[in-house]
Amino acid sequence: MVSKNQSSPEAEKAVEDIRQLTQNGQTVFISEEMFLVWQKKAHFWDKLDRLEQRLNDIEHTYVVTLRKPEDVLPSYYQELYAGLSLVEKLRPSCFYRNQRCDCYDYRKLLNWSERAKSRVVFIHFDNLTSSSFDLGAALGEDGLSGIEISIPNSNQGRTLPNKNRELPAVTVADMGRIGLVRKLADFIKEVAPSAFERVKMLSRSMTFRKAGYRRVSPPSERLEDLNRSYEHCLRYLQHRDA
């Protein structure tokens, strides 16, 4: 197991590969949305700090895409749904009020960009979907000119015209993420593996809520706050670049 302050062998090798490529005059472009996705025991601020530490001797630029929160939050919820807690699946408002949605609080991202030792460039998401978008020109990097970016919409077929989104069933198995239940399940798995498998199958067949299309809109006050942060960021960048 690799601790929070240690690098895995795979990460160390990736950094070394990047170092060698850049030393040979090449430009490396890494696209990874999970850098700003909160995961268990890994807040995205911690991820960015560790990334900065690992790349500290390599010249690099961060590219942050801007999207209006009201346009992306339901899709974000749908994308992360499988890994959410039972409470967050039954009450989406708990998810939206959680710090994992801070990646769409652009005031905080602006504050981070001002503290970062490396260059940070903000690009509007709509520009990335434009066929005329020139990544090299946007970043001021000749080595990236002519690169085309394709961004698939993985949730396109899972949303109705009324914006209701397809969600899997919520079952008793989702209780396995609760601490005491998980410990009990681990104990049963250890002492009675066959019984554990039967209980697991049964728990997946018992539903709290059936699969179907549902409205998963954020709470109005949270959405308004994040939308204000988005507008604030746009004004700040326009003033800075004027």
Percent of the chain having pLDDT more than 90?
A: 19
- The pLDDT assigned to 107 comes to 92
Contact 215, 163 (CB under 8 A): yes
Higher pLDDT, 40 or 91: 91
**Band of pLDDT at residue 7, cut at 50, 70 and 90:** low
Q: What is the mean pLDDT of residues 104-129?
A: 83
Query: Is 0.85 topped by the overall pTM?
Result: no
- The pLDDT assigned to 1 comes to 40
- The pLDDT assigned to 49 comes to 83
Higher pLDDT, 232 or 190: 232
- The pLDDT assigned to 2 comes to 44
Classify burial at 169, counting beta carbons within 10 Å of its beta carbon; exposed 0-12, middle 13-18, buried 19 or more: middle
- The pLDDT assigned to 73 comes to 93
Q: What pLDDT, in 10s, does the model give residues 195-216? A: 777 877 877 778 888 999 999 9
- The pLDDT assigned to 213 comes to 92
Q: What pLDDT, in 10s, does the model give residues 140-190? A: 666 555 555 555 555 555 777 778 899 988 888 777 676 666 777 777 778
Whether the predicted pLDDT of 14 surpasses 90:
no
Classify burial at 218, counting beta carbons within 10 Å of its beta carbon; exposed 0-12, middle 13-18, buried 19 or more: buried
- Taking all residues of the chain, what is their mean pLDDT, rounded to a whole number? 80
Query: How far is residue 227's CA from residue 107's CA, in Å, rounded to a whole number?
Result: 10
The most confident of 44-48, 101-105, 202-206, by mean pLDDT: 101-105
Q: 42-46, 208-212, 221-225: lowest mean pLDDT where?
A: 42-46
